[in-house]
Amino acid sequence: MPIEIPTDLTPELVPLSWLLGTWRGTGRLGAGEADSEHFTQEVTFTSNGLPYLQYSATSWLSDPDGAILRPLAVEVGFWALDRKLNDADGGPGLVPADIVPALTSADEVEKLRNKDGGFDITATISHPGGISELYYGTIDGPKIQLATDAVLRGAGSKDYAAATRIFGLVNGDLFWRWDVAAQGNALEAHASAILKKSQS
């Protein structure tokens, strides 16, 4: 499946552009053992003209055939290239940005490549229950690797210490795996899924 890049996309989002759209599919909790539970998921990446992608994921417990049983989880966030912000970027809060993007050409974006030929990225992801994750990682073509730099937990939230996530585009499908350190345990398999891009 060819990757279509929107003509109005700010240049620095081009490395992330293959994520754009809505993805739906199924996965397994844990390491996918025979007795692990199934889930169905919908993930959406959108752009609003600013230099980040908006991310949302909704998951439901399901039976082995994909029939939804009940709601499971929701998370939202923002993904972007990791670079120093300047006056052309908005914020903090509602401080407006300059009317031009900070990076205006592919050549400027190319200067951000890391020593391995990919790009450094950051993602912030928030969950109900007072938990937010700050990830740093890399994107190299259709492959993403992320690891938490920090996890913010509210006073009443459950124990959650760290996580890693990997994403890959394989034959047009989005494969992902999420490992988590929580409840006093070291990093271990938390969930994985295969999602297909929605044509609607």
pLDDT tens for each residue of 90-124: 999 999 988 788 898 889 999 999 999 999 999 99
Query: What pLDDT sits at residue 4?
Result: 60
Whether residue 146 has pLDDT greater than 80? yes
The confidence score (pLDDT) of residue 26 equals 96
Confidence check: pLDDT of 15 > 60: yes
Q: Which distant-in-sequence residues (6+ apart) come within 8 Å of 178 by Cβ?
A: 163, 164, 165, 190, 191, 192
Q: Which domains does the chain show, CATH number per domain? A: 11-194 (2.40.128.20)
Mean pLDDT of the chain: 93
Residue 21 confidence (pLDDT): 96
pLDDT cut 70: percent of the chain above it: 96
Residue 134 buriedness (CB in 10 A; 0-12 / 13-18 / 19+): middle
In this predicted model, what pLDDT tens digit does every residue of 39-93 receive, in sequence order?
999 999 999 989 999 999 999 999 999 899 999 999 999 999 999 998 889 999 9
